Structure 1
Amino acid sequence: MTVRAPYRPPRDRLWFTRTRSATVFVLRELTSVFVAWSVVFLLLLADAVLSGTTREFAALAARPWMIALNVVALAATAFHAVTFLNLAPKATVVRLDGWRVPDWVIQGGNHSAWLVISGLIAYFVLRSS
């Protein structure tokens, strides 16, 4: 009597490419690496400011590979933020007096707040230069 192993179908390693929503989901999850890099970069900047080594940090940040990495990180972080904010209406149901607030209002509020806060940060950073 021969014992056979149970059948295991072959794995499709590119399963997420079949639908647009799955592809966007996987891309958003992968962009988390660049979001984490942005946090590390800002922590390195804060450490350089506190320890008085801003010239060394500026020299590191001015290297072409670092500029390229930060440009990619900026694009990935923007993609991550936009797709995350677009999912907010699915995760948060807001009701006012029994009436459900439409998805576009929640999305618009999130994107508007992001734009206003980014504008304020840019104003204060650029003003002090």
Structure 2
Amino acid sequence: MTTTYRPPRDNLWFVRTRHCAVFVLRELTSVFVAWSIVFLLMFADAVRGGGLQEFAALAARPWMIVINVLALAATVFHTITFLNLAPKATVVRLDGWRVPAWMIQGGNHSAWVAISLLIAYFVLRSP
């Protein structure tokens, strides 16, 4: 009777190289991105349904603040790494000239900052 060789599984294969670790970490941050969307939908429902006081009380709890700060950090990491991948997925040609990767990344990051500042302006301005 012969047995086939099966190499042992390496459950931490992704930590061996930085590229793989960042890839897996970016994919795991999707959970926090999903939480941010759920939290925003809860906020919109509270505004629409008149339960804003209860939502504010929930959002002010220390554990909720910790979760949302972690979600913000994870979402920023997810966004930066995602925007850095854009030149690999998108080839932009202008009159036969290929736009360099740094220009695509710079445009993406600039648009992200500009849109974030515009949203912050409307959210944080005095009534």
TM-score norm. by structure 1 comes to 0.96
Unmatched tracts of structure 2, length 5 or more? none
**In 2, Cα distance between the equivalents of 1:107 and 1:42?**
28
Partner of 1:121: 119
Partner of 1:111: 109
- The aligned runs of 1:12-27 (5 Å cut-off) are 12-27=10-25
- How far apart are 1:5 and its partner, in Å? 3.9
- How far apart are 1:8 and its partner, in Å? 1.4
**In 1, Cα distance between the equivalents of 2:32 and 2:126?**
27
Partner of 2:32: 34
Q: Does 1:53 align with 2:51?
A: yes
- The aligned runs of 1:3-18 (5 Å cut-off) are 4-18=2-16
- How far apart are 1:48 and its partner, in Å? 0.3
TM-score norm. by structure 2 comes to 0.97
Moved >3 Å (runs of 4+): none
**In 2, Cα distance between the equivalents of 1:62 and 1:17?**
36
- The aligned runs of 1:81-120 (5 Å cut-off) are 81-120=79-118
**In 2, Cα distance between the equivalents of 1:122 and 1:5?**
64
**In 2, Cα distance between the equivalents of 1:74 and 1:50?**
24
Q: How many residues align?
A: 127
Unmatched tracts of structure 1, length 5 or more? none
Amino acid corresponding to residue 4 of structure 2 in structure 1: P
**In 2, Cα distance between the equivalents of 1:5 and 1:30?**
37
Aligned-residue CA RMSD (Å) = 0.9
Identical columns (%) = 77
Q: Does 1:78 align with 2:76?
A: yes
**In 2, Cα distance between the equivalents of 1:83 and 1:40?**
22
Amino acid corresponding to residue 67 of structure 1 in structure 2: I
